[in-house]
Amino acid sequence: MKSIVSPENPETQPFWKQKTLEQMTGPEWESLCDGCARCCLNKLEDWDTGAIVWTDVACELLDGDSCRCRDYPNRQATVPDCIQLNVEEVKTLTWLPPTCAYRLIRDGQDLYWWHPLVSGDPDTVHQAGVSVQGRTVSEAGMALEDYEHHVVTWPQELPETAG
C-alpha cells in the first residue's frame, strides 16, 4: 500500500526523509536494511593501494535464498570480522554498495522504488535484481587464496531497474 506524501507538509514525509542517520531509533535504523545482502559479500583489499574488490563469496551465515543472516543477533560471535553498521561506520566505509539505504541517506539521496520501506514488499529487492539471491558461493570451507577466483563487479553497480 502506497502512502501519499505531500512535499509541502514535511510531517507526512517518511522518517528517512525527516531524520538524519544519527536521529533514527533502533527499529528505524534496522528497517533501512533492504535485505540485498551485498554487504555480506567478502571483499579483498590491495594492501599497497587500498583498492577494494568484491567477490561473490558470501559470509558463512548468509542464507542465499532469503538473503538474511542465519544468526543475526549473534553473528559477531561466529564471524568476528562481521561489521555491525552504525553511524560512524557508515560515515567512513567506502565500499557500501551504491544501492545501500545507509549510503543513500548519508549522501542526501532518496531510497529506490524497490526498497521495502517504499514498495511495502520485502521481495521487490529480489525482483529488481538488487539482491545477491542466487549469485553467491559460501565461504564455508573455502581457502582465502581461492577468493581471488571469485572477483565480481556487480555489487558495485546499479541494476538496470534501479533508475
Residue 27 structural domain: 10-158
Residue 5 maps to a domain: no
Residue 14 maps to a domain: yes
Residue 2 maps to a domain: no
Q: Give this prediction's pTM.
A: 0.86
Residue 163 maps to a domain: no
Res. 35: pLDDT tops 80: yes
Backbone angles phi, psi at 159, to 5 degrees: -60, 155
Each residue's pLDDT tens digit, 37-61 = 999 999 999 889 989 999 999 999 9
User: What is the DSSP code string of 18-38?
Assistant: HS-GGG--HHHHHHT--S--G
CB 95 within 8 A of CB 102: no
Residue 3 maps to a domain: no
Mean pLDDT of 57-84: 93
Residue 133 maps to a domain: yes
Each residue's pLDDT tens digit, 91-150 = 999 899 999 999 999 999 999 999 999 999 999 999 999 999 999 999 999 999 999 999
